[in-house]
Every structure is written in structure tokens, then in C-alpha cells.
Structure 1
Amino acid sequence: MEAFPEWGRLVKVLRGKDQGGCAVIIGIVDDRFVLIADGNKHRFDGPKKKSLLHLELLPVVSSEVADSMRETGRVTNAKLRFAIQKYNERKGE
């Protein structure tokens, strides 16, 4: 299954200061760049613009984040943190 960038998709950062960390796609700039946020260092109001080449798209889409983005165009930082935490817990099992 080919993962593609979309709202709510979790990503692993492969390059840069946040290398190794997880984040959630909250915006798509064009076919090469997306906006990511993790709810802590990069909050919804100050997302990080990142090249898709520097991200690993994970096979997980947070329905809470995607639904919130579709309905209101925003998502809370708590929801972003929750989505990442839930992924990390599932990965750890």
C-alpha cells in the first residue's frame, strides 16, 4: 500500500533537528512540501514546512485530526499529541 501525504497522516522525521521524532501532516503546500506539527515544539499555529524527501510517511492516519481539519480547518495541539502518543503506544506493543 502506497502512503501518500494527507491531513492527519503520521510521519517520521528523517532529517533536521527533529530527526527521529513523529509528527502529523496538517497542511499540504505542493507536491514536494507539507506542513507538520507535533503539538509540542511545532504547534498548530507554527507548523514546520518540510520536504517529503525528509519524511517517512507512516501507514497511519489519525481520523480525529483528519476529521477536525475537514470540519473546522484546525486541530488542537492536544489532539496532535494524542495521535502521536497513541501511535507510539501501539508501536511499542
Structure 2
Amino acid sequence: MLSNDLSVGQVVEVSAGKEKGRIFFVVKIIDHEYVLISDGKKRKLERPKLKKVKHLKRFNVINNKVKNKIVSDQTMTDAFLRAELTKLNLFI
């Protein structure tokens, strides 16, 4: 899976590593192989997790509120990320 399949604000599930099975938002695309992910709970925005794209299962859900805040450099809180994941009923 290539990063051009992913978008900022997209919901992903980790398929390998300590966070296996947890749901996150993509907060930054580094290159074709790596992205930064955060959920606002265990992985906060100050320290997002660097993850290989091949270790992520992507959902066809892109949260436009999260995407717009990231793209426009608006301040975003961990509570906001948690709330948006909870609204999707995917939060684990």
C-alpha cells in the first residue's frame, strides 16, 4: 500500500506492532513509505507515531474536520481527535 492511497485525516487501523488493532488518524504523510499517526489518547499530537504504511489497514473514511484543521495549521487538541474518533464508533 502506498502513501498516495492515504490522506491526512484518514482513519487507519494498525496491523503490526504494540498498537495493533488500535484506530488512529493520519496526521502527516512523510513519504511513500511512512506516515505519522495520532489518536489523541495514547499517541498525542505532540508525539505522533511514525508508522510504515504497509503496517496500516486503511478505512475509506476521511474526517474533513481533522483534515481541514491540519491543512490550514489551525490549533487542534487531543480531545478533539478523541471526540472525532468516538463519533465514528471505531474508537478502541
Q: Would you call these one fold, judging by a TM-score over 0.5?
A: yes
Distance 1:74 1:46 in 2: 15
The percent identity for this pair of structures is 31
Q: How does 1:5-84 map to 2 (within 5 A)?
A: 5-72=6-73, 74-84=75-85
Mind listing any 5+ residue stretches in structure 1 that lack a counterpart? none
CA distance in 2, matches of 1:79, 1:21: 17
Q: Deviations over 1:20-64 (max 9, x none)?
A: 110000001100100000001100110000001100011101111
Q: TM-score, normalised by structure 2?
A: 0.87
CA RMSD of aligned residues (A): 1.6
Structure 2 residue runs without a partner (length 5+): none
Secondary structure of the structure 2 residue equivalent to 1:50: strand
Counting matched residue pairs gives 87
Following TM superposition, the consecutive aligned residue runs of length 4 or more in structure 1 with deviations greater than 4 angstroms are: none
More helix by percentage: 1
Structure-2 change in CA distance of 1:50 and 1:67 (3 Å): same
TM-score (norm 1): 0.86
